[in-house]
């Protein structure tokens, strides 16, 4: 489902090229509309060494606490 979102694909491509160290969004529903995509994005970020920050939930996966919260939310979404 992520591949149909051109703005997200562009942001991920920019991240991949090294234009940013993190992907920052205001709310999860602005990032993805599929509950299955959040765990995929978290896994992708972790395996590729970049961070995901969701401002509306106060989730900053650059910190251990934020990473834990993101994983708890993601595990419920699977």
Q: What is the pLDDT of residues 1-56, one digit of tens each?
A: 666 788 888 988 888 898 888 888 887 777 877 767 877 888 888 888 888 888 87
User: Whole-prediction pTM value?
Assistant: 0.69
Per DSSP, the three-state class of 48 is helix
Q: Where are the alpha helices (DSSP H) in the chain?
A: 6-16, 28-31, 37-48, 64-77
Count of C-beta atoms within a 10 Å radius of residue 19: 9
pLDDT of 70: 76
Q: What are 57-76's pLDDT values in tens digits?
A: 777 777 888 878 877 876 66
Which uninterrupted H or E stretch holds 36? none
Query: Cβ–Cβ contacts within 10 Å for residue 75, how many?
Result: 11
| Domain span at 25 | 2-77
What CATH number does residue 41 fall under? 3.40.50.1390
Number of domains comprising the chain: 1
């Amino acid at each position: 489902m992520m591949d149909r979102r051109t703005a997200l694909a562009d942001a991920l491509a920019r991240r991949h090229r090294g234009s940013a160290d993190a992907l920052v969004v205001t709310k999860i529903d602005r990032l993805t509309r599929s509950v299955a995509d959040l765990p995929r994005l978290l896994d992708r970020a972790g395996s590729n060494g970049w961070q995901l920050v969701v401002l509306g939930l106060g989730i900053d996966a650059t910190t251990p606490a934020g990473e834990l919260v993101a994983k708890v939310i993601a595990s419920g979404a699977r």
